[in-house]
Amino acid sequence: MDTGLKNALKTVQGTLAIAEKYQHACHVLTFDQETICPPESIEEQGEVTAFLEDKAYRLRKRKRFIAAAQTLYEGREQLDERDRILAESLHREYLRTKNVTPAINHHFSLVYNRAFVAWLKAKKNDDFAMFAPALQEVLAAEKKKIALMEEALPDPYDNLLGIYERGMTVKTLDAAFGACKERLIPLLKEIVRSKKVIRTEFLSRPVTDDQQRRMAQALLEIMGFDFSRGAFSTTEHPFTDSMGRNDTRVTTHYHPTQFLSSVYSVIHEGGHALFEQMYPREDYDHHINDQMTMGQHESVSRFYENRIGRSREFIDLIWPVARGIFPDVLKDVTPQELYRAVNVVSPSLIRTEADEFTYTFHIIIRYEIERALLSGNLCVGELPNVWSDLYDRYLGVRPDRAADGVLQDVHWTGGFGYFPAYALGNMYNAMYTRRMSEEFSLEDAVGRGDFSRINGWMREHVFQKANRLDAAQWIREITGRGMTPQDFLDYLEKKYCELYGL
């Protein structure tokens, strides 16, 4: 490596080290904002976060930094693997944000913060009109973001999708979602018509927050979550955030008569947390610790939530713990009944509470709405009615309240393009679960509670190179095949035909 390249790398690394300290503080403030921040202080706290984000952004907009990053990109073949990946990432970011001045970026931050505050109030008051103006501002910001991209793609949605899932296109998504609709819609009709009765009334029995907290603690311990480098709390909409190398935080939400809601949000978020705790620490040293796509990340959370968490073996594994913590709920219930209950198919309104089978339709609905909003074929004011019509079309249900419909998710307060990652995650993990099964029995490992075996395989094959490969390369390296929805659809058909005797 020549002297010029060494100096450029030193400049880039030094600048990023400072910017990441601002970003670390932003993560802490955002976590506080979504967990214990007093309601009247949420907007003010968001303004402080936007101020710090602006500081970090301005560092990356300095001419010296941009010039150094360009030098790295031009000499990337002389760099080691991780530094080359950093150079390529910075170049992509430069093309995406070249025309976004610090003032414009700060404006975007304030728009998203105002939208979050408006969403909280609107959901609490079950009033979409309270959120609509803020959502309109978000939509305008997203369109402006696309317009300012140096090399914008023809389809507006491809540009936003690429922020979360680089390389993915609406063409690929349309084909994958088309396959899902073709195979799942007829099967859903058969399931709904099935005379199979699955007992579920015990799922709505009352529980305390303390019982749910104890269960959350136990689940994270079983999964192998490292509490010396992580913690968990409660929030309105569960999420996981990685503050830094040794600080990954999980959140959940407690419902007094829906104990499974917290159980599965903890397993889901715990999966995200394991990913953050187990990928190579060297990725932090080279400033590429956030290069994995959201589809890669969601593949892991939904692997633990569904492929493990809803399996017979996992229910048998946690049965003694659950029975001890929730004696009044499970006193007259068998492990087999609990297994069937956690896998019951029941078309419903709330995405985060959706069963594994119908979940994909919740994503397809949001994907179709986002594309329509960006293309101008749908106005924000029309959203509640269109939302209800799509739920009726795909799932046969209609929300009576905005809080159970268009206001249920927080994601749109930060823009569009994220939701497909959840469905892609299911497709990715179905592929690598099949690959895993060629080496050992996942079912046997879960039954024994051998998460060191499971997590070890995930660390080696799934986590190890997630920051160093784009999703298409990553899934091909793990499985030897390109991304396909077929493994996921095969899995659903086999599992639910068996469950419902079809």
State which amino acid sits at residue 322: A
Q: How far apart are alpha carbons 131 and 117 in whole angstroms?
A: 9
Q: How far apart are alpha carbons 335 and 395 in whole angstroms?
A: 29
State the catalytic residue, choosing from 137, 165, 269, 305: 269
How do beta strands 240-244 and 230-234 pair? unpaired
What are the two backbone dihedrals, phi and then psi, of residue 478, each rounded to the nearest 5 degrees? -70, -45
DSSP 3-state of 241: strand
Count of beta carbons in the 10 Å neighbourhood of residue 125 = 14
CB-based contacts of 152: which residues, under 8 Å, 6+ apart? Answer: 146, 159
Helix (H) or strand (E) holding 384: helix 383-395
Cα separations in angstroms, 221 against 13, 225, 327, 331, 449: 36, 6, 21, 24, 11
Q: How far apart are alpha carbons 234 and 445 in whole angstroms?
A: 30
How do beta strands 230-234 and 247-252 pair? parallel
Question: Residue 461 has what DSSP assignment?
Answer: I
269 catalytic? Reply is yes
State which amino acid sits at residue 239: F
DSSP 3-state of 314: helix
Largest CA distance in the chain: 74
Strand ranges, E, within 261-372: none
DSSP 3-state of 244: strand
Helix (H) or strand (E) holding 251: strand 247-252
The alpha-helical segments, DSSP class H, found in 36-155 are 42-60, 63-74, 81-97, 102-125, 132-147
Contact yes or no for 138/380 (Cβ under 8 A): no
Please report the DSSP string for 209-234 in residue order: HHHHHHHHHHHHHHHT--GGGEEEEE
State in Å, rounded, how far the first CA of the chain is from the last one: 63
Provide the token pair at 463: 């986590």
CB-based contacts of 266: which residues, under 8 Å, 6+ apart? Answer: 215, 216, 219, 220, 232, 250, 252
Q: C-alpha dihedral over 193, 205, 335, 310, to 10 degrees?
A: 60
Q: Which residues are catalytic?
A: 269
